[in-house]
Every structure is written in structure tokens, then in C-alpha cells.
Structure 1
Amino acid sequence: MLNYRQLHYFWVVAKTGSIVRACEQLNLTPQTISGQISQLESTLGIDLFQRVGRQLELTEAGRQALPYAEQMFQLGSELENVLRSQSGEQQLLFRIGVADVVPKSIVYRLLAPTMVIDQPIRISCREDKLERLLADLAIQRLDLVISDSPMPPHLDIKGLSQKLGECGISFFATDDVAQRVGTPFPQCLHGAPLLIPGQDTVVRGRLMRWFAELRIQPRIIGEFDDSALMKAFGKSGSGIFVAPSVIADEVQSQYGVQIIGQTEAVTESFYAITVERKVRHPGIVAIAESARNQLFTAGV
């Protein structure tokens, strides 16, 4: 059976990159840490580290072991936090996964209502690729996943995709770029410099189909999975960029840009994905109700 203390020493050394830094974190001597790791290696019959010059590097077996150790001690930390919270005010842990293509402003607006409900909630947010988040949702390491698409049909995961809302998109540009492209919209987009969402986003395909239908060919100069990075390039005057119309006012004030056009022919949708058919978590209920009654006005 694994000695979890020895495994913890292995994990800390692997994460910090050296025994010296691990000693500082664990407040132990190098002899203690190296001795315990050697015992772990002896028990397993494999080497977890190897010396490369003066550096300590993971072996192939060590690289395979690291993500398992990472999960184990992350779960242990979560368990400790949950149990400690029982001694004081009863806080309900709300574990949320956010698909990395969802704009952060939308995420904040969706989650904000959970901060003001009667029952105290402590939220834990993690951003990642959708399929990895859904894998954690399936084993109940997450309570909710927020995405721009429903549960993919090819995944063998039983879940419920609740549409929170949808909205059209707006096109933004600095004053200089807007003057150069002129009017009318959307014809002014033909040949104009455009920053677009990356391949993993649902809105990307809808946007390109809309351009094809109108026979408009913008000059695509950048593709971004991270919407905040796309806006930063847009703010610098690199080109026109898009964002959900529901946050248009915020985008204009935050990035110092203007709207050059809007369309409802291309929409962005947002979903709450859970594994429960009957949603009971008060945080999820608050998100759904706020999205339906305040954030989005149609399409829920």
C-alpha cells in the first residue's frame, strides 16, 4: 500500500522543481525528503527522479505518477476545506467549470447572483476545455459547467443542458478603424481587418456562414480562443472584433471602442450543464433565474 506521506514529498519536489525548494515549503531537511522518496521508489521498484547534470528531473514513471498525485492532494485539500467549513457558518461549496471560450464578462454576470442568495455559498471556479470539464462533472467533481454549447451528443455522459439565454453579436472598433472602414454595415466589413473567435467556439462557424451568405469577405488577421485577448488587440486598433451584444455597453466603456454594427442573424448561446435531472443546488437555481429574468431577454 502507498505511503501517502512519501507520495506527498514526491509531489512537492516535482511541483517545486528541487529538493531545496521543497525543504523550504515543507520545513524539512534535504536528508528527510530524499530518504523518504528513496523509500517510496524502493517500495514501487521504480525510479521517479533522475539526475541530469545538477538538475533533478522526473523519469517517465515520475511523469505518469505526477497527475495522479496532483488529483489526490487536490481532492484532499477540497475535503479539508469542506470539513473545516462545517465547524463555523454553514457554507455550501459550489464547484463550477467554465469552458475557456465563454467570455469572462458573461461568466461574471451569470455567477454574480450566487453571491447574494440567502444561503452562504463559496464558489470554486475552474476554466478548461469543455470535454475535460464534463469528465469531472460526470464523476461529481463539479456541480455545474457553463458553456457556449449543450452537452456534445458523442459523449457517453448523462446530463442536462439548460439553455440560459442567447443574444446577437456586435462589431466593435476604435474610432480610427471605424473611420477607415466607413459605412454601411455590414458591407463595410468586406476587406476590413477582422479579429474572430477561435475554431473551438460555436459562434465562429455561425459568423463565417453569415459572411458567406452575404458574400462578404473580411480580411481575417487574428483568431483567438481567449475573448479578452481578442478585445485587447481590438483596443490597440489592430482590427474589428465581435462580442455578445448583451455586454456591448461594458465593452465600449472598458476598451474605448465604438459599435460599428450589430446583427441578430448570428447569435451566441450559453448553457448550464449538470448531471441532475432535477436541479436542486441553490446556486444553479439563482443563475438560471437571473439569466432568464435579467441578463437575457429572449431565447431562454
Structure 2
Amino acid sequence: MKSLNFNHLRYFWAVAHEGSLTRAAERLNLSQSALSVQIHKLEHQMGHQLFDRVGKRLVLTEAGQIALDYADSVFSAGDELMSTLEGRPADKRQVLRVGALTTLSRNFQLEFLRPLIGRSDVELIVRSGTMRDLLAQLEAHAIDVVLSNSAALRDSRTPFRNHLLSDQAVSLVGRPRPDGPRFRFPEDMRTEPVLLPSLDSDIRVAFDRLMDLAGIRPIIVAEVDDMAMLRLFARESSGLTLVPPIVVRDELSSAVLTEYYRMPRLTESFYAITQQRRFPNRLLGELLARYENSDPNTSAPA
């Protein structure tokens, strides 16, 4: 069994955190060439390349990100020792890095991550962003999974894997009107103010198609690309809001909002996007396993 050279590991750790051979060499008071030799020795010992050079930047490979996680743990061992001697529990946690579209339902994110929330051995890092930015982070191994309501395009260079987690129903919801007439779809859409997702949303495209087929031009009072904001608008507006019920689940259960119409054959899909890795994250595997044998046409497991 090979034994790890911790001096080499510390040099790698410094370069990984600095993101630059030059800055790390200055910090360690070494020449760049000497530091580069030590990194190559560590890579040879581990049998894996730890960095890719992108322009002038050093970017961690998948093996490099795993090595950095372990190096962080190794070099925090002194703090853990002091914690133990002082009667405080040592912090030995696994890390899961999650990227989620800025516009994605917060309730759905919560349901996906719920099994890990509150676990003392788990640290969750959740980042929001655009699809393009998050996929770039996934490809660079900076995050482990992207949560999205659309699948990622695949090609030979970036073989992303789209895990369909759930197909959620889409409804028209609004504040209760106990004395009002019964809502009729699509007839009442001629006079009913409506709040809609933005034009780049799949469910908006499908809704617009339904309206076109019915010959109706709806009265649009707001177009919102953020589901959290759409939820707030639904609470405040006197009109109806097109939204997956999971987004306003709490409002529906507390009767702040009511479901006026469940849209036929109209759903929003939720995906976990990953890429094939030689060293998969075990925490992510636990989460995805919950969906392997479930029906995607039902709500996400609670």
C-alpha cells in the first residue's frame, strides 16, 4: 500500500486554494519550478492528474476536487484535536455541493434535500445561478449536481446525465372567493386577470398554446421568471396564477390560496443533472436512489 507524502499534499492544498502556482509559491517561499515538481510527484503517487490548465488558470480535475476535500479534512485535524481535548465533538462531515436554477421552486429544492438537512455529519452547499453557469461549475467539478426544471443538452464533450425526479401538475390558483361563481376554463380566461411564468418557461409555452387553440387572448397582469416571486404575487393578486402547486403548497394547505383549475396534460418536469464520475458523491447517490423506483408522474417524496 502506498503511503501519502503529506508535504506534497500540503503543497497541492496551497495551490488548490490559491488557484495559482505563482501565488502559492510566494506563500510557501518556494520557486514555481520546485513547487510544480512537488505537485507532479503527488500526481504520480496518486495515479491521477489533479489540475487542468485553462488559459492561465489551474482548474481542479474530479480527482483534484476529491483530493482537496480530503486535504481540507487532513489540515483541519489540529482543530479537531483541540476540540476533542476541550470536550467539544470533532467535526467530520461529508460535503454535497448543489447548484439550483435561480428560478426553481424553493419547495422542490427543500424536498430533494430534506433527507440530509439536519444531519450532523453533512454539510450542504447550495448555490443559485443560470443554467449555463451551473453546468460550467458541474463540468469543472465545483458542484456535484444541478437542480433544474429543464434537461441539459448532451454532446460527446459534455455527457450530462438528466435524472427525471418528478413531473408536477400545473394549476391556476388564486385567493379564495367563497361567494363567487364557479370558475370555468377556458371561457373565464377572457376576463380573468392572470399572472404567468416568463416566456422562456416550458409551462408558459404550453399555456399560450392552449389559449391560442381556444381563441383567447388572456389579460396578463404580470410575467415572472422567479417561482419564489410568483408565489408572493399569487398571494397578493386578485387574479389567478399559473404555477405548479408544489410552489404554493403551504398557501394551499392553509387556505390562503385555492386551486381553481388543474391544467390537463400540462406538467413541469424537475431534473437532477449530473455527469459521469469515477468517484461519485455518496450523499448524492443516497438522494437519487429515492427516485429510482418512484413514479415521476407523482409528487416528489416527502
State the TM bucket, normalised to the shorter chain: 0.5 to 0.7
1:217-239 alpha-carbon deviations (Å, 9 max, x no partner): 32111111111211212211242
Find the aligned partners of 1:105 and 1:84 in 2 and give their Cα distance.
36
Find the aligned partners of 1:299 and 1:254 in 2 and give their Cα distance.
19
Find the aligned partners of 1:155 and 1:226 in 2 and give their Cα distance.
32
* Secondary structure, counterpart of 1:175 in structure 2: coil
Output the amino acid matched with 2:202: V
1:284 maps to 2:284? yes
Cα gap change, 1:3 to 1:154, in 2 (>3 Å): closer
Q: Which moved more, 1:153-162 or 1:132-141?
A: 153-162
More helix by share: 1
Q: Which runs of 5+ in 2 are unaligned?
A: 1-20, 28-55, 81-89
Q: Is the Cα–Cα contact under 8 Å of residues 105 and 247 in structure 2 kept in the other structure?
A: no
Q: Which runs of 5+ in 1 are unaligned?
A: 8-67
Cα gap change, 1:208 to 1:112, in 2 (>3 Å): same
* TM-score of the superposed pair, with normalisation by structure 2: 0.64
Q: Is the Cα–Cα contact under 8 Å of residues 160 and 277 in structure 1 kept in the other structure?
A: no
Cα gap change, 1:206 to 1:94, in 2 (>3 Å): same
* Secondary structure, counterpart of 1:213 in structure 2: helix
Query: In the alignment, which residue of structure 2 is the partner of 1:110?
Result: 112
What is the 5 A alignment of 1:182-221?
182-221=182-221
Cα gap change, 1:236 to 1:109, in 2 (>3 Å): same
Find the aligned partners of 1:162 and 1:82 in 2 and give their Cα distance.
31
Q: CA deviation at 1:103?
A: 0.8
Find the aligned partners of 2:279 and 2:203 in 1 and give their Cα distance.
27
Output the amino acid matched with 1:223: E
Find the aligned partners of 1:110 and 1:282 in 2 and give their Cα distance.
15
Q: Is the Cα–Cα contact under 8 Å of residues 231 and 248 in structure 2 kept in the other structure?
A: no
Q: Is the Cα–Cα contact under 8 Å of residues 252 and 258 in structure 2 kept in the other structure?
A: yes
Q: Is the Cα–Cα contact under 8 Å of residues 171 and 261 in structure 1 kept in the other structure?
A: yes
Query: In the alignment, which residue of structure 1 is the partner of 2:102?
Result: 100
What is the aligned-residue identity percentage?
20
Q: Which moved more, 1:248-257 or 1:122-131?
A: 248-257
Q: Is the Cα–Cα contact under 8 Å of residues 169 and 268 in structure 2 kept in the other structure?
A: yes
Q: Is the Cα–Cα contact under 8 Å of residues 154 and 160 in structure 2 kept in the other structure?
A: no
Query: In the alignment, which residue of structure 2 is the partner of 1:120?
Result: 121
1:28-54 alpha-carbon deviations (Å, 9 max, x no partner): xxxxxxxxxxxxxxxxxxxxxxxxxxx
* TM-score of the superposed pair, with normalisation by structure 1: 0.64
Aligned residues: 233
Q: Is the Cα–Cα contact under 8 Å of residues 103 and 228 in structure 2 kept in the other structure?
A: no
Query: In the alignment, which residue of structure 2 is the partner of 1:144?
Result: 145
Q: Is the Cα–Cα contact under 8 Å of residues 97 and 126 in structure 1 kept in the other structure?
A: yes
Q: CA deviation at 1:81?
A: 6.1
Cα gap change, 1:181 to 1:271, in 2 (>3 Å): farther
Once superposed, what is the RMSD of the aligned Cα atoms?
3.8
Cα gap change, 1:126 to 1:82, in 2 (>3 Å): farther
Q: CA deviation at 1:284?
A: 2.2
Q: CA deviation at 1:288?
A: 2.5
Q: CA deviation at 1:146?
A: 0.4
